[in-house]
């Protein structure tokens, strides 16, 4: 398994990294590239999943991008560690097990920071549960399978500006809040969290992989970016993926 570490580039445009993900996904699905963990930080962006309604969209100058994932609208931005596991899974594919393994890996990593986190029945992600307070999501998870390989992944709030979550109902959960490591009194960096988290994720995925391996290497991110620049833009499953959100009433009827 290889790490594609893009943190050194600073906050990146969401769709630029989505193109990287889709290129790597095609290579992994065809078994031309090792299973990969893409690690990066986003510029301010809201993404709208398939269950998003017009009422969910915030009044904001921040881009709102339609994506081919489940769920509603959520925020990505500086201070948030995003990891896309792009791996070829063995049959039968099981998205629930993959998400649960991801949650457990994150929870084990958080213990190394002295933080107890939880799973919540019926809800994906990793949570902070404290008496007298709303459940707060520390890490959002959204996984998609295509061609027996995974896409999208997790977003862990490290030093994220949580006020920008308040402009939306994160992941459509009206009775829950959000948390970051910083808001919980933990001072750290995205790079430090990544160095702890990635080995836990790699180990958690091994039983699910078509090509399991204990080796964890670092890919040349610059070389991968150069390869992508020399290839055409990725094909999306539908023609609205990657486009800016428009109110449904403003789009021509098919």
pLDDT in tens, 85-96: 999 999 999 999
Q: How far apart are CA 102 and CA 172, in angstroms?
A: 21
Q: Give yes or no for a contact between 165 and 138, defined as CB atoms under 8 angstroms apart.
A: no
| Inside any domain, residue 174 | yes
Q: Give yes or no for a contact between 40 and 12, defined as CB atoms under 8 angstroms apart.
A: yes
139 annotated active-site: no
According to the model, what pLDDT value does residue 83 have? 98
Q: H or E element: which one contains 191?
A: helix 190-205
| Inside any domain, residue 253 | no
- Where does the chain show beta strands of DSSP type E? 2-5, 36-40, 45-48, 64-66, 73-76, 80-86, 118-120, 123-128, 136-146, 149-157, 177-178, 217-218
According to the model, what pLDDT value does residue 232 have? 56
| Inside any domain, residue 195 | yes
65 DSSP β-pair partners: 47, 244
Residues 6+ apart with CB under 8 A from 34: 1, 2, 28, 211, 213, 217
At residue 39, φ and ψ (nearest 5 deg) are -120, 125
According to the model, what pLDDT value does residue 201 have? 99
Q: Give yes or no for a contact between 225 and 50, defined as CB atoms under 8 angstroms apart.
A: no
Q: How far apart are CA 145 and CA 61, in angstroms?
A: 32
According to the model, what pLDDT value does residue 242 have? 53
* CATH at 10: 3.30.930.10
Give how many domains the chain has, as a whole number: 1
50 DSSP β-pair partners: none
Point out the annotated binding site for substrate. 69-76, 140-142, 153-155
Q: 251: pLDDT confidence band, cut at 50, 70 and 90?
A: very low
| Inside any domain, residue 250 | no
pLDDT per residue as tens digits for the range 1-49: 999 999 999 999 999 999 999 999 999 999 999 999 999 999 999 888 7
Point out the annotated binding site. 69-76, 140-142, 153-155
- The C-alpha torsion from 8 through 36 and 128 to 178, rounded to 10°, is 60
Q: How far apart are CA 234 and CA 22, in angstroms?
A: 6
Choosing from 39, 67, 83, 171, which is the catalytic residue?
A: 171
| Inside any domain, residue 246 | no
| Inside any domain, residue 45 | yes
| Inside any domain, residue 108 | yes
pLDDT per residue as tens digits for the range 123-136: 889 999 999 889 99
- Domain interval for residue 139: 2-239
């Amino acid at each position: 398994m290889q790490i594609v570490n893009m943190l050194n580039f600073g906050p990146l445009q969401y769709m630029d990294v989505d193109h990287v993900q889709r290129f790597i996904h095609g290579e992994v699905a065809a078994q031309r590239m090792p299973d990969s963990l893409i690690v990066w930080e986003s510029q301010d962006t809201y993404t709208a999943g398939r269950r998003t309604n017009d009422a969910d969209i915030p009044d904001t100058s921040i881009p709102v991008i339609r994506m081919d994932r489940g769920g509603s609208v959520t925020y990505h931005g500086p201070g948030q560690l995003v990891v896309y596991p792009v791996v070829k899974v063995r049959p039968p594919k099981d998205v629930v097990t993959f998400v649960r393994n991801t949650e457990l890996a994150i929870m084990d990593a958080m213990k190394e920071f002295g933080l107890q986190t939880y799973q919540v029945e019926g809800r994906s992600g990793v949570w902070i549960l404290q008496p007298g307070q709303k459940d707060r999501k520390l890490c959002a998870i959204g996984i998609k399978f295509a061609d027996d390989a995974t896409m999208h992944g997790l977003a862990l709030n490290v030093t994220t500006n949580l006020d920008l979550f308040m402009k939306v109902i994160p992941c459509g959960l009206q009775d829950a809040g959000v948390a970051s490591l910083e808001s919980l009194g933990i001072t750290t960096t995205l790079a430090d969290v990544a160095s702890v988290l990635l080995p836990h994720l790699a180990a958690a995925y091994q039983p699910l992989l078509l090509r399991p391996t204990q080796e964890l290497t670092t890919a040349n991110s610059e070389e991968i970016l150069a390869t992508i620049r020399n290839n055409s833009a990725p094909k999306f499953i539908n023609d609205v993926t990657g486009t800016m959100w428009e109110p449904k009433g403003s789009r021509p009827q098919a």
